[in-house]
Amino acid sequence: MLPSRSEFLDVHGTRLHIRRWGRADAPTLFLLHGWMDVSASFQFVVDALAGDWNIVAPDWRGFGRSQWLNRPYFFAEHIGDLDAIVRRYAPNGPVRLVGHSMGGIIACLYAGIQPERVEKVVTLEGFGIAPTRPDMAPERFAQWLEALQQAPRMHVYGDRAAFARRLMKTDRFLSAERADFLSRHLGRIGDGETRNGERRHGIVWNGDPWHKAVSAYLFRIEESMAIWKKITCPVLWVAARDSWLVRDFATRPGDWEARRACFAHVSEAWIEQSDHMLHHDQPEAVAKLVEDFLA
């Protein structure tokens, strides 16, 4: 495995962990992880890249080794963090962004908000979340207020082997070797809850439990679509053939096509034999698609 190194960046009063791979004089590539993930899970893709890259991969606030805020998070904060990271590591030119799931959503929004700052975007299963309706707002605010009264908790696993089995249970394409590696980065030693509500010490997800709390504000896909229409750079949509996300889109006829149509320069690629975590399942195929698109 290509070794990584750690740096820390103070952004808006929050300390962010930045994982780096490769040579500083190589072309810069930003890798942006998804919800309840960490930067280290891009290791398999990094090892499969054929070219030399200066890779910058943050742990978003409240994940991995970045600072945990122990309070509700707001999605716009991640966009502000990305802007600060880009300005720190690529101050003189447009950037290449590769994001998975939440990281892909952030990358596409940033490319529409700051189009002059972005050269190309690859979004791996990051096409915006399900649409909402205004009449959902009262219940959403009630859920948010309820969460403020009792902080969310993580499920606890007995050891890293049990955590690795959990990863493989929800991803039939994940190998045991990769699950073992991920268990050492996606899991941490801490306190959590069993299925019976009993408090125990063991392995829990390496993310602030407050990320599990619902947002007080509805995600409005119409706003995302308006931002996507401002993107001027080429964008590559990469979807996993066996992903739950693709199945979810299938329940909303026309939604996929409507979102895709917002991008002026978009192409689409598919990864076979993969679920949503396609950078874990088929990293070689992902790496090839990324490098071919960025060439």
pLDDT digits (tens, 9 = 90+) for 250-279: 999 999 999 999 999 999 999 999 999 999
| Structural domains of the chain, with CATH | 5-132+219-294 (3.40.50.1820), 136-212 (no CATH)
Mean pLDDT value of segment 213-219: 91
SS (H, E, C) 189-244: EEEEECCCCCEEEEEEECECHHHHCCCCCCCCHHHHHHHHCCCCCCEEEEEECCCH
Question: Does residue 194 register a pLDDT over 90?
Answer: no
Rounded Cα gap, residues 165 and 283, in angstroms? 20
* Range list of β-strands (E), 110-186: 118-124
CA distance 39 to 6: 11
d(CA 102, CA 210): 16
Q: Quick one: tokens of 278?
A: 């396609």
For the stretch 57-87, pLDDT in tens is 999 999 999 999 999 999 999 999 999 999 9
Q: What is the mean pLDDT of the chain?
A: 96
Average pLDDT over residues 203-221: 94
Distance CA(9)–CA(27), nearest Å, equals 21
Which pLDDT score is estimated for 273? 97
**Total-model pTM:** 0.96
pLDDT of residue 191: 85
Question: Is it the case that residue 151 has pLDDT exceeding 90?
Answer: no
127 near 56, Cβ under 8 Å?
no
Which tokens sit at 68?
Answer: 């945990």
Confidence tier at 195 by pLDDT (50, 70, 90)? confident
> Are the CB atoms for 77 and 61 separated by under 8 Å?
yes
3-class secondary-structure state, position 184? helix
By mean pLDDT, which of 28-32, 145-149, 263-267 is the weakest? Answer: 145-149
- Please, are residues 218 and 128 in contact by the beta-carbon 8 Å criterion? no
Angle 102-113/221-228 helices, nearest 10 degrees? Answer: 50
